[in-house]
Structure 1
Amino acid sequence: MLRVDGALDLALAPKLRQLAERAARLEPTALVIDLTGVTFLTSAGMAELVRAHRGRTVSAPLRVVAAGRITMRPLELTRLTDELAIYPSLSEALATG
């Protein structure tokens, strides 16, 4: 599980990729990225979510925790809500089998 806090932008996106790649080496059954602490979500951040989802970073299924306008609005506008598995809470993302 990765928790992102602050602005998920061009500065933080490479760090997210690095952490996701590191997590992938542990061969998890799923990778959960918690965006509840994100204060700003840009296209660079969303690109890393897509990269992880499509298996370019992590081969395990991706689960994204996102709630609230700051994260959900950009994901909805880009229609990533149709592609990504998005959960309203960390407990729900972790409970999914």
Structure 2
Amino acid sequence: MDMSGSAASALSLDVEVKEGVVLLHVGGEIDVVTAPEFQEAVDRATSEHPDAVLVADLSDVTFLASAGLAVLVRCSEERGEDRRFLVVAHGPTTVRPLELTGLTEALEVFSSVEAALTTV
């Protein structure tokens, strides 16, 4: 079985910037293989738009492993109190791991991009 290129196709990242908000649309699987790519996208968005609110839209994520959760926690910690980090998650694939780890209490989690943006 040829596994070449499967990691690249397992995760999709799309960045949208508008009015002080960086919206990072993430799709596919966030696991130990793709989490570094996700982290890199978060880091790049933060460095290019340091004062913007960062929204990680996990609506199209089909698998969220602990490595992906670690990226979310790290981003939240690095941004600190001054710069908001919002997470959009709905459905058992993304909400369940966040609930089981208590991250729904630690992170600002919303069920839709629209709901998140109304708080900005």
Same fold (TM over 0.5): yes
Runs ≥4 residues deviating over 2 A: none
Tell me what 1:5 maps to: 27
Structure 1 gap ranges (5+): none
Tell me what 1:31 maps to: 54
The one-letter amino acid paired with 2:101 is T
**Aligned Cα RMSD in Å?**
1.1
* Normalised TM-score (structure 1): 0.92
Larger radius of gyration: 2
Aligned residue pairs, count? 95
* Normalised TM-score (structure 2): 0.75
Say which structure is richer in strand: 2
The one-letter amino acid paired with 2:41 is L
The one-letter amino acid paired with 2:86 is R
Structure 2 gap ranges (5+): 1-22
Taking every aligned residue pair, what percent have the same amino acid on both sides? 43
- 1:96 aligned counterpart, secondary structure: coil
**How far did 1:28 drift?**
3.5
